[in-house]
Amino acid sequence: MDNEIRRLRGERGLSQAALGEALGVSRQTVNSLEAGRYDPSLPLALALGRFFGMPVEDLFHLPDGGDGG
Amino acid sequence: MNAIRHLTWFNRLFLVVMVGGAVWCLAVGIWWWTALLLVGVAYLAVAYRQALRGGGTDRSRVNAVQPFDERESAASTWAFNVTGQVAVLALMALFVAQTAMQGGQPDTIVVLLLLLVAGTWGVAIQVATRRA
């Protein structure tokens, strides 16, 4: 799933390892999330939203053309 | 999110089997197997320690059955799923082959292992569908 994690992390000057440590996940998992290879669980998605201070639906979005319905 | 920081049940049981095997081999005088198993235990202890601290790669942690987070846990589950399917198929093939080649009398150990795997499968399905 497309997401804004890489951009938001970059804006805050965080490394993948630092973000992973803050969320309790590995650096490799942050990398997979950013690349859209791994869709997080709801708790992890909410934790990401809380970390970046934005709603989950602003953090993740369906690929182009997806309407969610 | 809480990262997984404890030794998994699989690894606890695996260590018990390894250490128990080493003691058993020592008791019956096969000292070289005792030594080999204890070397294996020492290697595993180092691998587990590193994995529990989040060290190494995601692949090495999944390989050690010590997933660090939900993604690695999902990867471990998927890997065990494949392994379990292969184990069931291989055991069933062995059972059928022995039945055919041994005049309808497969080895007792093969029958017992097949029953154990089938029973585990049944319980696992019950638990999985209840949790889902």
Give domain status of residue A63, yes or no: no
Chain A contact set for B57 (CB, 8 A): 28
Q: Is the CB of residue B68 less than 8 Å away from at least one CB of chain A? A: yes
Write the CATH number for A15.
Answer: 1.10.260.40
Residues 31-60 of A with CB under 8 A from B: 32, 38, 40-41, 43-44, 47
pLDDT, tens digit (0-9, with 9 covering 90-100), for A31-49: 999 999 999 999 999 999 9
Q: What is the CA radius of gyration of chain A?
A: 12
Chain A contact set for B64 (CB, 8 A): none
Nearest Cα neighbor of B73 from B55, B83, B85, B61 is B61
Give this prediction's pTM: 0.83
Sequence ranges of the domains in chain B: 1-68, 72-132
Give the Cα separation of B25 and B29 in Å (integer). Answer: 6
Give the Cα separation of A27 and A19 in Å (integer). Answer: 8
Which pLDDT score is estimated for A44?
96
> Where is pLDDT greater, at B74 or A62?
B74
Counted domains in chain A? 1
Give domain status of residue A67, yes or no: no
Longest dimension (CA), chain B: 57
Model confidence at B3, in pLDDT bands (50, 70, 90)?
low
pLDDT, tens digit (0-9, with 9 covering 90-100), for B64-77: 999 999 999 999 99
Who's near A44: CB < 8 A, 6+ residues apart?
A: A23, A25, B1, B70
Give domain status of residue A14, yes or no: yes
Model confidence at A66, in pLDDT bands (50, 70, 90)?
low
Q: Is the pLDDT of residue A21 over 50?
A: yes
The torsion angles phi and psi of A47, rounded to 5 degrees, stand at -65, -40
Sign of the dihedral defined by the CA atoms of residues B111, B114, B120, B121, in that order = negative
Residue A39 belongs to domain spanning: 2-52
Could you tell me how far CA B117 lies from the centroid of its own chain? Answer: 12
Q: In the predicted model, what is the mean pLDDT of residues A19-38? A: 94
